[in-house]
Structure 1
Amino acid sequence: MRVEVVRRFAWFTLFYMLLVILWGAFVRATGSGAGCGDHWPLCNGVVVPREPKLETLIELTHRLTSGVSLILVVGLWFLSRKAVPKGHLLRRAATWSVVFIIMEALIGAGLVLFELVAHNASLKRMFSMSAHLVNTFALMSSLCLCVWRAQAGEVRREALMKDVLRVPVILVMGVLLVLSGMTGAIAALGDTLYSGFGPIPLQAYLDGEVPFLLRLRLVHPVIAIVTAVAVLLLQSRHWDAYREKLGSVLGWSFSGLILLQVGLGFVNVQLMAPVWMQLVHLGTGVLLWVVYSFFSFFVIDKSK
């Protein structure tokens, strides 16, 4: 089998996964996570619910599209084993993708079975949302690596972790982006649970007069701005990557998306986080992570 076929399939899977992530955010933002009750994998105890409510349709659609994503990732794993020999990084990236997509399913099931959905404002849900985001980022990076390594003629054995450790700046950038994303997930949860709250004076936050999750909403903008500045400064240490066309495209895209994401964050706050703006903000964040992954792979390859 031609490796080019695997690369195209990996691209399709990556794009499809982005759509699944956005729909999952729509489920959370609309409070539809309990649309199927506390049943999983069944919906309200049945395979096909009769006369379902809107929130049931939203949640059920997410489950079905997530199931398709699992099939696609397993298919990518199978194709990778047909296309490249044992030891190729493409195989391992596809295996990691399978592991992370299974983890996604387990986290999603846990949210439903333990009723960490809808109007649940517990710390368990907060930590679960953060873990969900970290696993999603890991899954997207694994799929990006499948795309990156699906190159004809590359048959050498590769040790990615050793390569990453040779470029510690890339690792630090990733950690900062993940931390910012985790606080963003918590802030988005607060926006969903307390969407009826109007503008709140700063003093009310400081005096503890607002719910805990809303108070945490102040943390995300600060961390996001600090992360943006730090990542841009760290990225400048790899200015030599811009000398090549691909490196220049990835580098400038990465920088531009960082600035765009910060701007969207301010707009999101000013608009009081409407659902559509939450989806735009999240979609840009995931796209930023995808471009970061590709830029990292480029820098790592050039460091060898």
Structure 2
Amino acid sequence: MRNFTLFTLALALVVILLGAFTRLTDAGLGCPDWPGCYGYLVVPQEHQHAIAEARFPERPVEMAKAWAEMVHRYVAGTLGLCILALALMAWRRPAAPKGLPWLLVGLVVFQAALGMWTVTLNLLPLVVMGHLIGGFSILALLFLLWLRQSPQRGPLPNGTKPLGTLAVVATGVLLVQIMLGGWTSANYASLACTELPVCEGDWASRLDPEAAFHPLPPPAKSYEFGVLDYPARMTIHVSHRIWALITALVLLLLALRLWTQGLRREALAVTGVLMLQLMLGIANVVASLPLPVAVAHNGVAALLLLSLVAVNYRLWQRSRYE
């Protein structure tokens, strides 16, 4: 079961990367219906395009986008089946964790609903961000499940107990940053600022937080490519940058405390992944969001979250319970 959990964890990371690729290639509506594609179970073939476009005249068939969307759905569906299999395996094994696998099953069902609403509500930003957070939550809980099945490590060094609170705070700060990243992407604000370290022009006088962070944007037939004006998008982008700095400082403080308390492997993991993520973020701005870098930025954010899950588990580790 531990090996299968690890496989499912890797598959969840693949789903996150595929989701990022789908969003960044503007393929979120590559299939305008759900769960099929233009009324077919698979991407319509060339001889079916006329029928498909008659069903959805506002969305001409784009094969590359349709395949990106459907591959994401296929792999996500496979992940859901794997998580269900994990829950059934745990149910049949007396010593296996019971609550966490079934929590994952419930989360997958809700995540599938978010995937449907992403399409049926035409990329409504709140739903798109929720779909991202759902994927990260599934990944983190699968990693926690794998950790609970792993051999117990030795006792913590003396004096590490106060670090548990700092680790929880650092995880909360990172989660806010991930949500801001999702909000930036969902509102197509990734290129609202093209200079470093601050935004270009008189950005400070144009901030519009009310419009930037209102949960429901102005009504629109579709939210593809965003509907907010430039000041709102710029505000979202700047907020993501500022919170990235706060996140980096908090995580570096945690890493320093871990190092001084003898948890050097954990400290190196957090620092290394954090530095990589910062470099990818800078490269996104400097190079105008190149696709491989932007997808990697999502993947490394997931790895950074996993590093903090591991730190929290280590610091708060107790005897296994059901």
Structure 2 length as normaliser, TM-score? 0.75
Code of the residue aligned with 2:145 in structure 1: it is C
Equivalent-residue separation in structure 1 for 2:164 and 2:149 (angstroms): 22
Q: CA deviation at 1:235?
A: 4.4
Q: CA deviation at 1:78?
A: 1.3
In structure 2, relative to structure 1, the CA distance for the partners of 1:84 and 1:45 (3 Å cut) is: same
Superposed, which structure 2 residues align to 1:47-86 within 5 Å?
47-48=41-42, 49-51=44-46, 53-85=63-95
Superposed, which structure 2 residues align to 1:16-55 within 5 Å?
16-37=11-32, 39-48=33-42, 49-51=44-46, 53-55=63-65
Show CA shifts across 1:139-196 (max 9, x none).
Answer: 112101111111479xxxxxxxxxx9993322211110100111111223344x7769
Equivalent-residue separation in structure 2 for 1:210 and 1:152 (angstroms): 52
Q: Percent same amino acid at aligned positions?
A: 25
Aligned residues of 2:29 and 2:119 also touching (Cα < 8 A): yes
Aligned residues of 1:134 and 1:182 also touching (Cα < 8 A): yes
Code of the residue aligned with 1:108 in structure 2: it is G
Counterpart in the other structure of 2:174:
177
Aligned residues of 2:184 and 2:190 also touching (Cα < 8 A): no
Q: CA deviation at 1:207?
A: 3.4
Code of the residue aligned with 1:297 in structure 2: it is Y
Show CA shifts across 1:120-148 (max 9, x none).
Answer: xxxxx332233223322221121011111
Unpaired stretches in structure 1, ≥5 consecutive residues: 1-5, 117-124, 154-163
Equivalent-residue separation in structure 2 for 1:77 and 1:251 (angstroms): 33
Unpaired stretches in structure 2, ≥5 consecutive residues: 47-60, 153-160, 208-228
Superposed, which structure 2 residues align to 1:161-176 within 5 Å?
167-176=164-173
Equivalent-residue separation in structure 2 for 1:255 and 1:275 (angstroms): 25
Show CA shifts across 1:2-57 (max 9, x none).
Answer: xxxx11111111111111110111111111111111x2112112213223621111
Identify which of 187, 194, 200 aligns with 2:184: 187
Q: RMSD of the alignment, in Å?
A: 3.0
Q: CA deviation at 1:238?
A: 4.2
Identify which of 8, 15, 23 aligns with 1:13: 8
Aligned residues of 1:188 and 1:278 also touching (Cα < 8 A): no
Equivalent-residue separation in structure 1 for 2:194 and 2:163 (angstroms): 48
Q: CA deviation at 1:197?
A: 8.9
Larger helix percent: 1
Q: CA deviation at 1:259?
A: 2.0
Identify which of 230, 246, 251 aligns with 1:226: 246
Counterpart in the other structure of 2:100:
93
Superposed, which structure 2 residues align to 1:126-141 within 5 Å?
126-141=125-140
SS of residue matched to 2:230: coil
Superposed, which structure 2 residues align to 1:179-218 within 5 Å?
179-191=176-188, 201-203=200-202, 206-207=205-206, 210=230, 212-218=232-238
Identify which of 114, 119, 126 aligns with 2:121: 114
- Count the aligned residue pairs: 273
Equivalent-residue separation in structure 2 for 1:165 and 1:249 (angstroms): 18
In structure 2, relative to structure 1, the CA distance for the partners of 1:34 and 1:173 (3 Å cut) is: same
Show CA shifts across 1:246-293 (max 9, x none).
Answer: x53233111211122122211211111122111111111111111211
Code of the residue aligned with 2:117 in structure 1: it is G
Counterpart in the other structure of 2:222:
none
Q: CA deviation at 1:94?
A: 1.3
Equivalent-residue separation in structure 1 for 2:282 and 2:19 (angstroms): 23
Code of the residue aligned with 2:136 in structure 1: it is F
Equivalent-residue separation in structure 2 for 1:130 and 1:303 (angstroms): 35
Once structures 1 and 2 are overlaid, which stretch shifts more, 125-134 or 276-285? 125-134
Equivalent-residue separation in structure 2 for 1:31 and 1:237 (angstroms): 42
Identify which of 255, 265, 274 aligns with 1:258: 274
